[in-house]
Amino acid sequence: MKKKWIVVTGGSRGIGRAIVEKFTSNGFNAVVCGRNFPDLEALKDEIEQKQDVQVLIKSTDLAIKEEVKDFCEFVLKYIESPAVLVNNAGVFVPGAVHDEQEGVLEKMMKTNVYSAYHITRALLPAMKSAKQGHIFNMCSTASIIPYVNGGSYCITKFALLGFSKVLREELKETGIKVTAVLPGATHTDSWKGVDIPEERFMKPEDVAETVYGAYALSERAVIEEILMRPQLGDI
């Protein structure tokens, strides 16, 4: 049986890595990008030693448009069409709109929003030809609730949710599903160094399980938005 492919950006750590591990454990091949090539290599080796699947990796800085283009060309060189695309890559720089450093908004827009926009546009023709596919955009609870010291991060996550909503409307008749994922505090490197017990956070695997569950529905149903929080609420 021909294996399906999943494409995950920012897939070497955290939620992205958990999603790659979940889908490959269910027989998917994967194309994964991230900025840290040794982490990508470690992911590839670990998965291919455990599973009879293929993991293709490419070091990519998604804040640089030319590297985004190179990654898309890399994907289409090796696969006809992804069954799943997860726009997961993101960057968080704390600060308030009125006093954060110059250029912070631009930096986060490029990584958190523009990369998802350009990658989706590049891969959609193949998905439309295949008349199938599922796009997951990794938004955040910051997509719906602004918070102090969230600054430009909240702006970009609100924008990503808007992108997801528009895409969902545009693709209804194509057979391609679109799901916005809005996780609350998840124990990843973004929270490294904070003095908060680990058990207060969700696990990356919780998000990955939920994403796979949304994918596994019949073609007659789509979960448009997934809102997840730690059991005790926001941090």
pLDDT score for 214:
98
Rounded to the nearest 10 degrees, the angle between the axes of helix 65-78 and helix 115-130 is: 20
Top pLDDT among 227 and 99 is at 227
Position 235 confidence tier, pLDDT thresholds 50, 70, 90: confident
pLDDT score for 118:
98
* pLDDT single digits (tens) 156-212: 999 999 999 999 999 999 999 999 999 988 877 766 667 788 888 999 999 999 999
CATH code of 196's domain: 3.40.50.720
pLDDT above 70 (res 35)? yes
Note the pTM of the prediction, 2 decimals.
Answer: 0.94
Which region among 95-109, 169-183, 216-230 has the lowest average model confidence (pLDDT)?
95-109
Whether 199 is covered by a domain: the verdict is: yes
Whether 235 is covered by a domain: the verdict is: no
Residues carrying an active site annotation: 153
Nearest to 40 by CA among 77, 89, 78, 80: 89
Whether 234 is covered by a domain: the verdict is: no
pLDDT score for 188:
75
Whether 233 is covered by a domain: the verdict is: no
Number of domains in the chain: 1
pLDDT score for 28:
98
pLDDT score for 132:
95
Whether 166 is covered by a domain: the verdict is: yes
* pLDDT single digits (tens) 40-49: 999 999 999 9
The arrangement of strands across the sheet holding 55-59 comes to 55-59, 29-34, 5-9, 84-87, 133-138, 176-183, 225-228
* pLDDT single digits (tens) 46-82: 999 999 999 999 999 999 999 999 999 999 999 999 9
| Arithmetic mean of pLDDT, 226-235 | 91
Domain holding 54, by residue range, is 5-228
* pLDDT single digits (tens) 132-157: 999 999 999 999 999 888 899 999 99
Whether 24 is covered by a domain: the verdict is: yes
Query: Chain-wide mean pLDDT for the chain?
Result: 94
pLDDT score for 190:
66
Whether 65 is covered by a domain: the verdict is: yes
Place of tokens 């939620």: 15
pLDDT above 80 (res 90)? yes
Whether 131 is covered by a domain: the verdict is: yes
